[in-house]
A and B are shown apart, each in its own frame.
Chain A
């Protein structure tokens, strides 16, 4: 029978199907971090168990870590204890930890792929909703809660109900200045923040095929922002080229055999999806959010919806409340509005390609004096490469502040926060109330749109930025 890519991988990992219940799904790789793992370790210890397959678990510290002076002890006591707990737990249970100071440390969804741990055909979980990122390699990857982390520790399996299948086809060519971040924001704006709940999404079409791995990861990363269980893209030459030679990717002896296996990972021509959506890539503009969920998003030249004309009462109330929090007005444009902060980072857009794009744009320019710009590489390896490629020099000359690897101002948990009431153009994935700090106002956008605002100090259509006089 014709199968979708998702079904091929899922079915192969079902150990048992419980009648009128979930399946016991075998997990190939389990990533953990300091925030969602301590209670799971405590849980198995209380049951007198050891981690069942420690070699299939990889740990890093990312959420709670400072991005300055990482060689010093963490100042915040609770954060320090949590990171310390992770170190102890990993030691006790023989789990590989890429903690602070390790050359592989970084945001969990950045390091898995860059180290070649993430591979096509795998099932991958992590106690973190953006685990969907790893789906860019043709893996079934999804976020789980701490009880489920405990399940995987105990048995290398989770109990999961099979989601429905959705395919989003994006055909055609992207306009200049439009990035994969704009594609995913466009999709979420179209189908809403809950539009894919209950589904696992496959992204397909010529526009997807033409994207780099970094750009594909950005798209899969934000699948959760429309409620999807995960997102994925069939592996192809781009995938194989990216993976070849990476630390934990299959070595030369196994390479050909593995690639042959991976080439079988695609959706059969007559496979059926529960839902399909078609999108024309050329219609997509640089996008920016105005509200407090990622679905409240408009083209950079667009206007905020006029709330009086929104027919659905729930949605109208929602948007009115969001605009109140954001201090924005119904019907107005965002273009030209001053911002006080620019944050370039997070598991959505902190990879080397993102940093290169930003560097290209800001080379020879200076940031606007009223804006604070923070650029936070996703991993130690990204940081090192940016340094080697001379990107740091460009950032420093532009007046950007370069930080060390971590989640940083994406979530208002560590030291990096946006002050209450101030606006931040952010390349992260969530604009929820208080996400970047209590009272902070987040506008989500692509790295190019963020960089353009860093230069001008206001919301800017990057396509209208004058070239630098050389």
Chain B
């Protein structure tokens, strides 16, 4: 996993609630056996007319060149539905390093963190504010300080992340390393309990 300390970027807004992982990456694109290349089909059915990737839907934000950036800002309950980690891979592969919302579905949140995509939970008011900003605005996210800032106005919120996950993100560690290092303890547990 890539370490993630700070993000300074413009953002792409999708002011819609309950964006489920079937929208982020439809099931028919889950047939790959590697983690690569899912960005191409990110939001596939919102992005293209009749499943034809030569026909972008002009009203969808990813097809509007005035919007760009490494941060996705979306309505509440982002990532609900299927546990497919392909959703996190698709966001990462497309170039997103963080998703900002006022509420995330549990499994998505874990999947994102496990891939170095930072879910930033902000208040409903802060989120609403972001949706009113023009496309030239930038945001700064600081993992160490746990802050997200609207650069133009200095408005800032502190977001939550447990200290274990924060250490992992800042250093690019992953949970598997941690678990492998604790195998002796796991074996001891097995002897006692099974």
Contact = CB atoms under 8 A, between A and B. Distances in A.
Interface residues of B, number: 55
Interface stretch (B53-61, B63-71, B106-114): B106-114
Contacts of B6: none
Interface stretch (A1-9, A142-150, A329-337): A142-150
A6 B23 CA distance: 32
Most A CB within 10 A of own CB, among B22, B50, B85, B185:
B85
A35 B82 CA distance: 12
Interface in A27-52: 35-36, 38-39, 42-43, 47, 49, 52
B13 to A, nearest CB: 14
B183 A52 contact: yes
B75 interface: yes
28 contacts: A15-B182, A20-B163, A26-B189, A35-B30, A35-B31, A52-B183, A78-B32, A129-B107, A143-B83, A143-B107, A145-B83, A145-B107, A145-B110, A148-B114, A154-B180, A156-B186, A156-B190, A157-B186, A159-B175, A227-B80, A229-B106, A293-B80, A314-B17, A317-B15, A317-B17, A412-B27, A413-B30, A432-B20
A317 B16 contact: yes
Interface in B143-194: 162-165, 174-176, 178-180, 182-183, 185-186, 189-190, 193
B170 to A, nearest CB: 14
Interface of B: 15-18, 20, 22-23, 26-28, 30-35, 45, 50-51, 75-77, 80-86, 88, 103, 105-107, 110-111, 114-115, 162-165, 174-176, 178-180, 182-183, 185-186, 189-190, 193
Interface residues of A, number: 68
A465 interface: no
A158 B179 CA distance: 8
B83 A36 contact: yes
Contacts, number: 184
A20 B162 CA distance: 6
Chain A CB within 10 Å — which of B32, B111, B178 has the most?
B178
Nearest to B188: A15
8 closest A-B pairs by beta carbon, nearest first, are: A21-B164, A78-B31, A145-B85, A38-B33, A145-B111, A147-B114, A155-B179, A413-B27
A413 B28 contact: yes
Given A20-B164, A157-B186, A159-B175, A293 B33 contact: no
B179 A151 contact: yes
Contact of B34 (A15, A39, A145): A39
Contacts of B80: 193-194, 197, 227, 293
Given A318-B16, A434-B26, A194 B33 contact: no
A433 B45 contact: yes
A433 B110 contact: no
A336 B93 CA distance: 45
Interface stretch (A79-87, A391-399, A453-461): A79-87
A367 B180 CA distance: 56
Contacts of B105: 194, 197, 227
Nearest to A153: B176
Contacts of B76: 194, 314
Given A12-B193, A197-B105, A151 B16 contact: no
Interface in A74-118: 76, 78-79, 81-82, 85
B31 to A, nearest CB: 4
